[in-house]
């Protein structure tokens, strides 16, 4: 139906009365949309009125008992997100304390909501993280007693079973200030040393009696130790932060980069370098190092060397990473650090490494990542027998990119995909293989010399001879 576009300008031209009628009709029978409209109407009545409506809705959510399916979950998440936006825009500017109370109350809804829905998609978790981020925005303007706030944070963090309050210390650090952080540290330390309560033991009654107390203490103190670590982070106390880890743990690729970054921020680059090199050495001894890429470790290593002004060592370390992992970023940064004109020789040496790299798949990935199609052509020509037709996620897009200017090499990639699908009887790929075969036929018109490879007609005949009985494939070809 022809007519005006549905946009803000055309809707505004309809006038308030017409729009009001349309809105009433649109929200009829939809409770969620009606609540949104009522909240928008209340927004002009001041923060207390808006807060009262939000609290009323939170109370209703808390009382809810029915299971929330995926559509209901998404609708609730949208409603909570809109509540956050309303708090940020209508309440926080003039009443930051009230805004904090409302956002804190929303975080307390997490347990009740999670108990009646499956949050595998992280939808509810994301809304809770958004609420905590909003708290972080207003934290510098909060006038809260540091000691009481520290007690509040400790209480909710220890009791939190769904991660809603995981980021509370970082978000509220400006409101806590040095006094509040010190109080939180003292309270968490005292809690770690406190005797295990009967309630804490009861939660581990499935464990044999002789191990129950140790299990309960480990469970409780793991959270308290994380609190102490986060406090140390906010205080800039890198030594206390690192003290929570064993020397072996400080070599883990998941921990060492963070530790090195904190040492660098504290102006201790020499210690950071020692730590990160110890971690790199441990990584080389790890049997998994062949498949695990220690990118964060390498990045931290580069940062340490840069902080110490060791430009030549940075350049060498970047080259070592490229040579081992074919990392495009490492090569690019290495070339930028080369003296004038030497970058050309270094780039040529890099291409030679790619051409000889043990993994043909990784070499092709590098060519595509750097959009060096000329290098990809050379690689395919030299090592076409090494092509792995199972890595369709690399070969398929690369073939499409090569086709306009390098049709023969594109055909070789398509043939590798076709041959793999047929020889391995991957029937789910027969439709793709048929399309690849059609692409080979289209490229054939632009290939004047196949060199040592079968021309298209001969290749097609070889397929028919070898796979004549795969009727489902040939049915796809005939479509």
Taking a C-beta distance cutoff of 8 angstroms, is the pair 57, 86 a contact? no
Distance from C-alpha of 98 to C-alpha of 55, rounded to nearest angstrom:
11
Give one DSSP letter per residue of 33-50, joined into a string.
Answer: HHHHHHHHHHGGG-HHHH
What pLDDT does 1 receive? 42
Residue 165 has a pLDDT of 94
Identify the segments of the chain with pLDDT beneath 50: 1
pLDDT for 152: 95
11 burial class (0-12, 13-18, 19+ CB within 10 angstroms)?
A: middle
**pLDDT (tens digit, 9 = 90+) per residue, 85-125?**
999 998 999 999 999 999 999 999 999 999 999 998 999 99
Q: What is the pLDDT of residue 190?
A: 94
Q: What are the phi and psi torsion angles at 68 (to 5°)?
A: -95, 110
Q: Are the C-beta atoms of residues 256 and 244 closer than 8 Å to each other?
A: no
Domain spans of the chain, in order of start: 245-309, 376-478
Of 92, 61, 101, give the one whose Cα is nearest residue 77: 61
81, 54 Cβ separation under 8 angstroms: no
pLDDT of residue 441: 95
| Vertex 241 angle, CA 300 and 140, to 5° | 95
> In whole angstroms, how far apart are CA 306 and each of 272, 273, 317, 336, 360?
12, 10, 11, 14, 33
Residues 301-360 pLDDT 10s? 999 999 999 999 999 999 999 999 999 999 999 999 998 778 899 999 999 999 999 999
pLDDT value of residue 215: 87
Q: Which residues contact 84 (CB under 8 A, 6 or more apart)?
A: 103, 106, 127, 130, 131, 134
């Amino acid at each position: 139906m022809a007519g005006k576009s549905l946009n803000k300008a055309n809707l505004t031209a309809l006038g308030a009365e017409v729009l009001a009628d349309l809105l009433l009709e649109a929200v009829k029978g939809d409770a969620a949309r009606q609540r949104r409209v009522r909240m928008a109407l209340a927004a002009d009545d001041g923060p207390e009125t808006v807060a009262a409506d939000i609290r009323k809705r939170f109370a209703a959510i808390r009382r809810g008992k029915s299971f929330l399916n995926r559509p209901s979950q998404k609708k609730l998440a949208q409603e909570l997100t809109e509540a956050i936006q309303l708090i940020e825009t209508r309440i926080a500017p003039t009443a930051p304390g009230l805004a904090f109370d409302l956002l804190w109350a929303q975080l307390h809804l997490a347990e009740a909501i999670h108990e009646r829905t499956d949050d595998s998609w992280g939808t509810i978790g994301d809304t809770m993280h958004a609420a905590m981020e909003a708290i972080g925005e207003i934290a510098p303007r909060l006038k809260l007693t540091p000691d009481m706030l520290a007690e509040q944070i400790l209480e909710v963090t220890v009791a939190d079973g769904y991660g809603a309050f995981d980021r509370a210390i970082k978000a509220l650090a400006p409101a806590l200030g040095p006094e509040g952080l010190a109080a939180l540290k003292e309270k968490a330390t005292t809690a770690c040393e406190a005797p295990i309560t009967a309630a804490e033991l009861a939660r581990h009654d499935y464990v044999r009696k002789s191990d129950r107390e140790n299990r309960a203490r480990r469970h409780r103190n793991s959270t308290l130790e994380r609190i102490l670590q986060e406090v140390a982070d906010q205080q800039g106390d890198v030594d206390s932060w690192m003290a929570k880890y064993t020397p072996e743990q400080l070599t883990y690729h998941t921990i060492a980069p963070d530790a090195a970054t904190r040492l660098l921020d504290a102006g201790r680059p020499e210690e950071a370098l020692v730590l990160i090199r110890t971690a790199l050495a441990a990584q080389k001894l790890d049997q998994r190092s062949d498949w695990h890429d220690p990118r964060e470790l390498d990045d931290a290593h580069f940062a340490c060397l840069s902080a110490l002004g060791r430009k030549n060592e940075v350049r060498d370390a970047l080259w070592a990473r490229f040579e081992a992992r074919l990392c495009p970023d490492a090569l690019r940064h290495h070339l930028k650090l080369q003296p004038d004109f030497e970058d050309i020789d270094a780039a040529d040496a890099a291409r030679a490494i790619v051409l000889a790299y043990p993994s043909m798949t990784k070499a092709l990935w590098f060519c595509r990542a750097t959009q060096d199609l000329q290098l990809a052509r050379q690689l395919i020509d030299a090592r076409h027998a090494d092509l792995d037709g199972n890595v369709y996620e690399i070969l398929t897009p690369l073939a499409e990119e090569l086709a306009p200017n390098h049709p023969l090499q594109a055909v070789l990639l398509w043939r590798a995909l076709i041959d793999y699908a047929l020889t391995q009887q991957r029937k789910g790929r027969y439709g793709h293989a048929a399309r690849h075969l059609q692409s080979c036929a289209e490229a054939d018109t632009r290939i004047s010399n196949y060199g040592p490879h079968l021309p298209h007609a001969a290749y097609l005949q070889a397929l028919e001879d070898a796979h004549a009985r795969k009727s489902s494939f040939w049915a796809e070809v005939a479509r």
